[in-house]
A and B are shown apart, each in its own frame.
Chain A
Amino acid sequence: NAGVTQTPKFQVLKTGQSMTLQCAQDMNHEYMSWYRQDPGMGLRLIHYSVGAGITDQGEVPNGYNVSRSTTEDFPLRLLSAAPSQTSVYFCASKRDGDTGELFFGEGSRLTVL
């Protein structure tokens, strides 16, 4: 099993450019989510999805879009990148019910110049 796979691992953008961070999981998890990690701020939830066709906003959704057309994939789109979006982004998924353990990808480091 690959688990949760994120691409790309590193990306440099210029202010105003758009891009998509990809996330795929092969564990048939219904729940998927995106977090950003910044020094001293911990992990903050951007968007999450409880199943295909359903998405919702987390703590810091502004400047980001998501969609969930399949169970496996949950891409995160930056519409017009800003330096404040420089961060490490993590995708995570979990099964419904039981303990709710989140399985994380390895992260995508994004720099916006």
Chain B
Amino acid sequence: GEDVEQSLFLSVREGDSSVINCTYTDSSSTYLYWYKQEPGAGLQLLTYIFSNMDMKQDQRLTVLLNKKDKHLSLRIADTQTGDSAIYFCAARDTGKLIFGQGTTLQVKP
């Protein structure tokens, strides 16, 4: 089955760009997702990318997909303190979603 891996922690300064990386194993995954979890809350979908795309931009968010290397990244431009959260990468595996370990983003003022 699908396996999704992320680094656990990233610290940036306010105003810098953040890049969160993710690798997955199943090249047949049709959709790849980024979810955000704020303290004490459930996860909410930030953005997603279809497997036939290389890049998707949505305001401050840029998703890059390298299918050859099975690598997904999320770039947050002009990172704000309100972006501090846990970010989860997820891949679709025959209808169900498999999540990575989550990357805690710490934004320092």
Q: Residues of B within 8 Å of A, CB-based: how many?
A: 25
Instruction: Summarize B's interface: helix, strand, loop or mixed.
Output: strand
Interface string of B81-109 (1 = CB under 8 A from A): 00000001010100111111110000000
Chain B residue numbers with a CB within 8 Å of A42 are 4, 6, 88, 99-102
Chain A: number of interface residues, binned into ranges? 20 to 34
Chain A residue numbers with a CB within 8 Å of B35 are 102
Q: What is the bound-complex CA distance between A42 and B88, given in angstroms? A: 8
Interface string of B21-43 (1 = CB under 8 A from A): 00000000001010100001111
Interface residue from A44, A48, A58, A99 paired with B31 (Cβ < 8 Å): A99
Instruction: Summarize A's interface: helix, strand, loop or mixed.
Output: strand
Q: B residues within 8 Å of A by Cβ?
A: 1, 4, 6, 8, 31, 33, 35, 40-45, 48, 88, 90, 92, 95-102
